[in-house]
Structure 1
Amino acid sequence: MKNYKNIIVLDKVNYTTNTGKTILKDISFNINSSDFISILGPNGAGKTTLFKLILGIEKITSGSIKFNSLTHKDIAYVPQVKTLDRTFPASALELVCTGINKTWSFWNSKKDIMQATEVMSALNAEHLANRQLKNLSGGELQRIYLARAIAKQPKLLLLDEPATGVDFICEKDINKVLTRLNDEDSITIVMITHDFSTAYCHSKNVLLLNKEIIYYGDPQSTLTDKNLMATFSNTIHTHDVKFGIKKC
């Protein structure tokens, strides 16, 4: 793994529900400046919960999460599409502008509109600018909320399955934009995904999670059949599975 400056350090983080169910156990790893981490794991592995602990939405049961030269204001978060709010009475462009202004405004400057339109264009979503959120499909809504997060110009971008519900071409657009943000703007990205090939081709490091860390390292050493079987063994009913990862 490349040696980046730690911006978030998780040390022996545990999370247990009020009913005593263990969701995350002994989670220790660093989120480093300019890193691009993909998190993979089966449903119920604790991936989304991990994000909520980092964001302070949920409180850890034990352990610690330390921020270095970073605050919650420096983080942009895009949750799963099924949780996104489409009832807010605004157009797609107006929502993206809230990422720039950090708040809702009845008036957006030409500069704000140009910046928002540029981000939407990169995600092939500029044609949605005047559509009301309630009239967007799940994939379209996902792109608009991602554009809003990018427009915020965060230091850290947390993405929970950002390509869910979008077509193949749009998925390529999203991955291209994320790679550029990471390579050229040094934005740190942590992304939950179910796509092994996306993780292999676009990540600098990959975290395999199933309530605890199964493996953490660069894509080549992490995304092996052995490690993936150890991560997904409870959801796979054959010992002859070969995980088809398309090389870049």
Structure 2
Amino acid sequence: MKKIFAVLALALSASAHAQAPFVLIEACNSITDADRRLECLKAAIGAGGANAQTQPLNAVNRAFAGMEASLNAGISYNNYQLAVLDLAKAVATFKQDAGEAGAASAKLFESAVEAYSDAGALWERSISFYARRGNDIAYAGGLPVSMNGLDWLVSKYSLATGKSDIWGLERGLPVQSARAEIWRIAKEKAEAAAKAYGKKLDAPAKPDSAKDQNVVAVEEAAKQASCSDDPAASQTGVIGASRLFSVYCSNRQTMSFECVDGSCKRLN
């Protein structure tokens, strides 16, 4: 019996629709009760399918959340440069892992990284400029825009300027507020990217006629469980006469179901 379930575990892990993590398969295979072992394997299939879809988004979200936490904690300029590089790496990984489904979101994430990089350019210019003797007094009203080649930054982010020097000859950028505004824009872009990809995952699949009654039953059950106002079921695997489905919820969790001819039960 143990050998049969080991073979079943390998077959399930090889399924194109449900790539269950090997550690879950091993954990399920160690359960002595046959019925409970099978239920565990079914649940593992659902968990694998959910991870395959949400992992790229979760990883890049963690990277942007880390940047936000660092800014709130008062990150240094040197560490900020490294943080921007880490963001760029996370977005590159997301772009590769999410594929065509995440193309639009990847562009938004890249735009967010660009904004963080631009804020870094403003920060670097201000450090360099005010390190020169007397500039902190002569240009106390803000970092002079033209003198530091930052006209493009003002235009790109519609930044407010004021008198930089006492004579009012130079437009100046209040560094802290300007930097904070660019960070706000970057954060909004990252949030929009995550939201767009989340909608992609939640988009209805086009079921074939053989799955219609199962899809209807799963989506109704998910709706009743407050998973989503407009749930969309996706098939994640097949075990004998049973079909496995998952529904991506509004709270970014996933519900898994097992169906036979329109009769469905929730697995998690």
Range into which the TM-score falls when normalised by the shorter chain = under 0.3
Give the structure with the higher percent helix: 2
Higher-Rg member (1/2): 2
Q: TM-score, normalised by structure 2?
A: 0.25
Higher relative contact order (CA 8 A, sep 6+): 1
